[in-house]
Structure 1
Amino acid sequence: MLRALLFSLLIFTVSAQAAKKEADDGSQIQPDNYYPRVKLETTMGDIVIELDRRRAPITVNNFLRYVDKRSFEGTIFQRIIPGYIVQGGGYTVDYEEKSSYPAIFNESGNGLKNTMYSVAMARQNDPHTATRQFFFNLDENDNLDPGSSWGYAVFGAVVEGYEVVDAIGEVETEYKATIGFADAPVEPIIINKVELLPPQF
């Protein structure tokens, strides 16, 4: 009886360790760091954002797996509305849409607000359609916070490179008729490299 119990415990432990090792949802990336930092190297300068895994665990883990796969590299900021938002992370320089993981649950009710320099997930009208596109808030955009309906999930904030975000938000934009994109930069702003920084603890 004791031998069978010990064997079952061993199998459970091995299975749990294997499942943890095989996890690919982002939770395995700096798993003990509640506030991982990511540096975006763009054609207009570097931006460092601090993610809030305590308030937005699903969203942060989802973002980190794109970082880990280097999937944001070579993408652009394709939508820029001065004084409002800078959105990117989903398209190549040729405006080809990048592949995505499945959509995630909307964590907009986590208490984080769409304040200036916060980072939030872009989505379609359906609240639970965010995949990989994100945006920087260029103002106090409380209209994007949840109220009687779902809002846009904030999952971090800019901690370095505020001037770069401001500069991106002021570039000249145009309507690209061939792909139906409004507010697209005349000159592409490219995310060349995305790096997960070492933990600060």
Structure 2
Amino acid sequence: MLGAFLAGAAAGYAIAIPVGAIATYLVLLGARHGWKVASAGGLGVATVDGMYAAVALVLGAVLAPAIATVQTPLTWISVAVLVVVGLALMRPAFRREPARAAGEDVRGITPLRAYVVVLGLTVINPATVVYFTALVAGASFGAIDTAAERTAFVVGAFAASASWQLFVAGAGASLGRVMTGPRGQRVTALVGGSVVVALAVRTALGA
């Protein structure tokens, strides 16, 4: 069972560590709204990673060809959402009124709202779906066949993803403490939004 847990942890870190739009969004949440809000968003990512790990273990071989048929439209949906998120992140950079202090709830962003929003963004991220399905559809995890081992794999994937997302949230919150002034917050908003839009463009070019 320990082997299954470690395999799940390895899978969770492999999908969580590469820097993408979700990680950028978590950093911006931490910088603008503090660790509590960003960590809630990070747990939304980990929830989806654990859920997809569970589904892939049970239906991986069946889902792999089905996902391949809808990967293109799913990718374009992801592109559209990333563009919207990127523009929303950049909007505070062009406001005339001074930015608020980092961590202050300026737009009603609560931990619950951050959790739901980031969870939704992760659900439609095609990379997450395809990664876990391809991972389990292969021969690498054929030995994971008991309920206890499957549970251990999913727990490992969730724990690894959660630990990394909380680290990213903390990094964003630390950035917010450094750049507490109006100019610093405008910079983080502009840079973060631009990165998300650039990731959307890269996703579209690879579709």
TM-score bucket (shorter structure): under 0.3
- Tell me the TM-score normalised to structure 1 length: 0.25
Higher relative contact order (CA 8 A, sep 6+): 2
Structure (1 or 2) with the larger CA radius of gyration = 1
Which structure shows the bigger proportion of residues in strand conformation? Answer: 1
- Tell me the TM-score normalised to structure 2 length: 0.25
Which structure shows the bigger proportion of residues in helix conformation? Answer: 2
